[in-house]
Amino acid sequence: MLLSNHSRYILECGTDEAGRGCLAGPVTAAAVILPEKFENSILNDSKQLSESKRELLKPIIEEQSLTFGVAHIFQEDIDKINILNASILAMHKSVEQLSPVPEFIIVDGNKFKPYLNIPHETIVKGDGKYLSIAAASILAKTHRDAYMNAIHEEFPMYNWKKNKGYPTKEHREAIKKYGITKYHRKSFRLLPEQLKLEL
């Protein structure tokens, strides 16, 4: 059973990201403030749920949350500032969209940089412990998946509709065969035997 608030603050926001380990596309973060009495029996860490359950929860979270924000940081910026900084920046940009402004931020994972003067706490595996982080994990994942489905139409040979840019065997075989696209993260090790890839 996921808990509601971690702190004594009512306006507590949860934030999480999706797509950190991908070879292509953005890293996407979401931030969510849920109402105090929010309950949902299905809501859990997005990785524990099927795609159909995530898609079912997305409109519920967007309609019932007090406020939410979603932000993409694209591959060019990931290559410039590295994936950890890009993930934190995405979280900051998603929190920036919240109105009312949160009084406390709970973050999935163990890395974050202070945002404005709002107190925060990092919580390892927080998406399986707190409703607002789980809700943020669903929005980050579903919004990123929708983006990857859209760019799949442009480059169907990489099958991003299925692998969402993650380093599957199929995705790596396609990189080997067709090279890379403007959506690939050039700072990532795109192939195990990097020497074969002409960047």
What the block records as the tokens of 90 is 């995405």
Give the burial string for 78-114 (b: 16+ CB within 10 Å, else e): beeeebeebbbbbbbbbbeebeeebebbbbbbeebee
- CATH superfamily to which 12-144 belongs: Ribonuclease H-like superfamily/Ribonuclease H (3.30.420.10)
Global pTM reads: 0.94
Q: pLDDT per residue over 40-81, tens digit each?
A: 989 988 889 999 999 999 999 999 999 999 999 999 999 999
Q: How much is the average pLDDT of 173-191?
A: 94
Domain ranges of the chain: 12-144
Looking at the predicted structure, is the pLDDT value of residue 199 above 80? no
Sign of CA dihedral 113, 119, 121, 127: negative
- Specify the pairing of strand 12-18 against strand 27-33: antiparallel
DSSP at 174: H
Label residue 101 by pLDDT band (50, 70, 90). very high
The single residue listed with the structure tokens 């109105």 is 99
